[in-house]
């Protein structure tokens, strides 16, 4: 990344309190996001991956302040978002948009597409009057691959893929710099997925957009990510460029996730690794390394000491004890490296 990142997330924390009893006493908290840090470059895509419940959706919402973070910094357009007041945040919101997995639930069923896409433009002064907004909606419809004449229709008259295109039109109508795509293609058929991914890539090229792409699907990540952030139980496991992550994953959890997708080099195969057990509850994450209850390479230290983030190459960070002073990948299906106490 040559220039300053458009978004810098540092130590982001979001815990949801759990209350119980008549006096609504706090008895614990769900540690949804615990100290997440990464940078997003201008015109780049960072994919955030992990199993369901790992905190990726909460992280996306906390970054946009759709939920209030409990700690950390989110630097965007020179401002630390968790500290800005409501009025300033409203102004900044135009520059950061979100696309949801289910566009239907986020499109007002009583409004036409012209209203859904056009009104925000009028509100933010990006269209001078109703006629101007209508014209711009039609141009946007063409841009996202829909017939301009459909602008007078209602959301229920469209297919899932078309509704996602409408969601994208609404988001780009405000000329944002940065968009969170939260499982934006997960609910679509594979062929429609490819079309929507291509549309997002074209818009990125054309408008210089930066994406935070939240997904559980590594084959999608492979097509569009520049950087990948792997989360487990609210914490970062590994952060690397797409090519580094797919060709030489370090963290045992990343290796297990990637064992299910084909190797990028033709002819090379990965050994399938099935993780045992379920993801522990984020209310009481395991002590030490959060992944130790399922990690085939867990050893004594992992059960008591939380691992730090270790840099194994420029821009490649791993949270695992095995990479303290080591940068070569340790195979999840192999023995512990020499010198590591079991």
Q: Which residues bind ligand SF4 (CB under 6 A)?
A: 252, 289, 291-292, 295, 297-298, 302, 307, 320-322
Report in angstroms how near the CB of residue 150 gets to ligand SF4 at its nearest. 50
Q: Phi first, then psi: what are they for 99, rounded to 5°? A: -115, 130
Return the axis-axis angle of helices 130-143 and 160-173, rounded to nearest 10°.
Answer: 130
Segment holding 45, helix H or strand E: strand 45-49
Q: Which is nearer to ligand SF4, 160 or 286 (CB)?
A: 286
Phi-psi map region of 166: left, alpha, beta (phi>0 left; psi -120 to 50 alpha): alpha
Report in angstroms how near the CB of residue 285 gets to ligand SF4 at its nearest. 12
Q: Which is nearer to ligand SF4, 111 or 270 (CB)?
A: 270
Phi-psi map region of 179: left, alpha, beta (phi>0 left; psi -120 to 50 alpha): beta
Report in angstroms how near the CB of residue 312 gets to ligand SF4 at its nearest. 13
- CA–CA separation, 326 vs 29, rounded Å? 35
- Count of alpha carbons within 13 angstroms of residue 286, beta-carbon side: 19
Q: Which is nearer to ligand SF4, 188 or 236 (CB)?
A: 236
What three-state secondary structure class fits 311? strand
- CA-wise closest residue to 140 among 163, 168, 102: 168
Report in angstroms how near the CB of residue 49 gets to ligand SF4 at its nearest. 16
Q: Which is nearer to ligand SF4, 69 or 307 (CB)?
A: 307
Return the axis-axis angle of helices 160-173 and 113-123, rounded to nearest 10°.
Answer: 20
Q: Which is nearer to ligand SF4, 79 or 301 (CB)?
A: 301
Report in angstroms how near the CB of residue 133 gets to ligand SF4 at its nearest. 52
Q: Which is nearer to ligand SF4, 2 or 341 (CB)?
A: 341
- CA–CA separation, 164 vs 287, rounded Å? 41
Q: Which is nearer to ligand SF4, 139 or 305 (CB)?
A: 305
Report in angstroms how near the CB of residue 54 gets to ligand SF4 at its nearest. 14
- CA–CA separation, 84 vs 201, rounded Å? 31
Report in angstroms how near the CB of residue 24 gets to ligand SF4 at its nearest. 36
């Amino acid at each position: 990344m040559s220039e300053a990142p458009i978004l810098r997330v540092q130590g982001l924390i979001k815990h949801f309190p759990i209350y119980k009893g008549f006096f609504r006493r706090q008895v614990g908290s769900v540690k949804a996001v615990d100290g997440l840090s990464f940078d997003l470059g201008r015109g780049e895509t960072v994919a955030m991956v992990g199993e369901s419940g790992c905190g990726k959706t909460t992280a996306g919402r906390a970054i946009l302040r759709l939920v209030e973070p409990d700690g950390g910094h989110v630097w965007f357009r020179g401002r630390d978002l968790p500290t800005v007041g409501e009025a300033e945040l409203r102004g900044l919101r135009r520059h950061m948009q979100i696309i949801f997995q289910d566009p239907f639930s986020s499109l007002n069923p009583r409004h036409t597409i012209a209203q859904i896409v056009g009104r925000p433009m009028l509100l933010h002064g990006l269209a001078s009057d109703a006629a101007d907004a209508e014209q711009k909606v039609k141009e946007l419809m063409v841009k996202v691959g829909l017939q301009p004449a459909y602008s007078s229709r209602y959301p229920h008259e469209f297919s899932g893929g078309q509704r996602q295109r409408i969601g994208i039109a609404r988001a780009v109508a405000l000329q944002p710099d940065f968009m969170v795509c939260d499982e934006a293609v997960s609910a679509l058929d594979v062929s429609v997925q490819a079309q929507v991914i291509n549309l997002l890539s074209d818009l990125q090229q054309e408008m210089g957009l930066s994406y935070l792409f939240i997904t559980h699907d590594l084959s999608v990540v492979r097509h569009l990510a520049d950087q990948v952030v792997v989360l487990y139980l609210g914490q970062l496991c590994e952060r690397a460029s797409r090519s580094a992550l797919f060709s030489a994953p370090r963290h045992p959890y990343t290796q297990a996730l990637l064992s299910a997708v084909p190797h990028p080099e033709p002819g090379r195969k990965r050994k399938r690794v099935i993780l045992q057990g379920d993801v522990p509850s984020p209310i009481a994450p395991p002590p030490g390394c959060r992944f130790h209850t399922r990690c085939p390479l867990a050893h004594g230290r992992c059960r008591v000491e939380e691992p730090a983030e270790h840099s194994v190459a420029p821009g490649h960070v791993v949270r695992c004890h095995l990479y303290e002073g080591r940068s070569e990948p340790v195979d999840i299906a192999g023995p512990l490296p020499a010198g590591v106490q079991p």
